[in-house]
Amino acid sequence: MSPDARRVWITRARPGAEATAARLSALGFSPLIDPLLEVRDLPWTADLAGVGALAFTSRNGVAAFARASAQRGLPVFAVGAATADLAAEAGFSRIESAEGDVAALAALIAAHHTGFEGTVLHPAAAEPAGDLVSPLVRAGIEARTVAVYESVVRAPAAETLAALEDLRAVLLHSPKAARALAALLMAHPAPGLRALCLSPAVAAPLAPLSADGRLGPVAAAPRPRETALFELISP
């Protein structure tokens, strides 16, 4: 076994990358943190007049909202357990969690909409990965999205690019990170590198590169949860 055979590249933005690294280390892998994305807060007015609930589709949304607003009394609907956990850490107490995707979150909110009055506010990225507002509006629920952060593509270190063929795998948590990796592989092909993705939507930008030999096998987790993503590493 080569020195890097248990080394896994984590491409997600900080601070989430550190949490992923800690979980990988506990499983006996050697994490390489070199994000393809950098998260930056966006200026916004934390006006919650008429807002009856908050909906979060990412941990970054929770963190950015918590830095901008001291409001913790509104009910929270989270896309999954990790996002719900961070909302609890941030001080929210009324939290409902879906099963990991935007469709499930919209269904959860619709099922509980009689428990609150007012608009559902979705603090999100400047380029949200999914449309939460439309299904809520179709269900007769007032909802709007506010951009509270943005993800900016960053270049990995030269050492990371030089080691691509020696890594066990690369983890992708978002379509934007996958697109960034796809662009890199045009100049730095890595036919021996396995790309493990949080969902089929994350895997989609990388499938053509696997097909043409610029990247190794691409796999998508059966559920959009990090525990399911980790299950793909061992084979």
Residue-wise pLDDT tens digits, 14-26: 888 999 999 999 9
pTM to 2 decimal places: 0.80
**Span 173-198, pLDDT tens digits:** 989 999 999 999 999 999 999 999 99
The sheet carrying 37-41 orders its strands as: 37-41, 143-153, 119-125, 51-56, 76-78, 95-97
DSSP β-ladder status, 37-41 and 119-125: unpaired
Q: In this model, does residue 29 exceed pLDDT 70?
A: yes
pLDDT at residue number 4:
62
Angstrom CA distances, 51 to 20, 24, 96, 128, stand at: 33, 38, 17, 20
Give 3-state DSSP helix, strand, coil % of the chain, rounded to 5.
35, 25, 40
Rounded CA separation 27/46 (Å): 40
Structure tokens of 21? 């690294």
CA distance 19 to 143: 31
